[in-house]
Amino acid sequence: MNELTQTIQLSGVSLHAGVETQVRLFPAAAGEGRYFVRVDLPDAPQIPARIDAVVSTTLSTELGQGEARVRTVEHLLATLAALGVSDARIEINGPELPLLDGSAVQWVEAIAAWDKTQPAPVAPLAQPITVHAGDAFVAAFPASRTRFTYGIDFELPAIGNQWHSWELDSQSFATEIAPARTFALAHQIEYLRAQGLIKGGSLENALVCGSEGWINPPLRFANEPARHKLLDLVGDLSLLGTIPVAHYLAYKASHHLHVQLAQKIRESQTPD
Ligand SMILES: [Zn+2]
């Protein structure tokens, strides 16, 4: 198949930097893995989408290699992993991926036409692995199929305590997980803006929740926030290359804890 016909291009405003960036996706050779290329920088440095390249997890996952950085990689990487794309060259002309509508729907549509490669088999998880911070945790348990279960608990009544559980499957990813959008709490927005974050956030690319309820309904699912957190978890675990077969269970977690779990899984896979 002609690779050029499979080239995919998407652009939009990025969440934190608030700048317009363009992403071009190309199939890569088997074994190359998923990697970013900062085509706007001298010599177009590559940044592997691997756990050892994580440089920051503040509100989004940021990867780096040398001086080059790429941020908010999780929605695209979740999509590639869930749809079985193990190898991809992701060219980007700026420091952060476009947020699009806050979900992964447009990434799914873009990649739908690609030939998928079966991910290389990975040994299933042998032992439970957990990380926690207070009562927030992410855990992985040995299982015969890969499942993700996510719980969140917010004081805002419109969010409250909600859960979602989903078994890894490319068909249902497109309809059950990818459409779930980024969400934000109205009372944190001014603070985050003052920190130089979420400059590109808007009512078009994130659900915003206030004390009286959602500011920009309707929701796509009653538990859309829990599903979005699950999407983020899949994206962060995809930094392992192939996600080991296991049941992943997270509660009130964050990119930081997701990445910590991935690091611990990587250590468990590496004989010392
Ligand atoms: Zn997200």
- Residue spans of the domains in the chain: they are 8-110, 129-269
Contact (Cβ atoms closer than 8 angstroms) between residue 208 and residue 219: no
Cα–ligand 1 centroid distance for 139 (angstroms): 19
Question: What does the pLDDT read at residue 113?
Answer: 76
Binding residues, as ranges, are 75, 228, 232
Cα–ligand 1 centroid distance for 271 (angstroms): 32
The pTM of the full predicted model, rounded to 2 decimals, is 0.95
d(CA 102, CA 209): 14
Q: Which of 247, 255, 256, 258 is catalytic?
A: 255
d(CA 182, CA 149): 18
The two structure tokens encoding residue 6? 């499979």
Question: What does the pLDDT read at residue 2?
Answer: 40
Cα–ligand 1 centroid distance for 250 (angstroms): 15
Cα–ligand 1 centroid distance for 1 (angstroms): 33
Question: What does the pLDDT read at residue 226?
Answer: 98
Topology classification of domain 8-110: Ribosomal Protein S5; domain 2 (3.30.230)
Cα–ligand 1 centroid distance for 76 (angstroms): 10
Strands 62-65 and 88-92: unpaired
Question: What does the pLDDT read at residue 269?
Answer: 87
Task: List average pLDDT for each run of 10 residues in the chain, which is 272 residues long.
Answer: 62 91 93 97 98 95 97 97 94 97 96 72 88 98 96 96 96 97 92 87 92 96 98 98 96 98 93 64
What's domain 129-269's superfamily in CATH?
Answer: lpxc deacetylase, domain 2 (3.30.1700.10)
Contact (Cβ atoms closer than 8 angstroms) between residue 105 and residue 83: no
Q: Is 132 a catalytic residue?
A: no
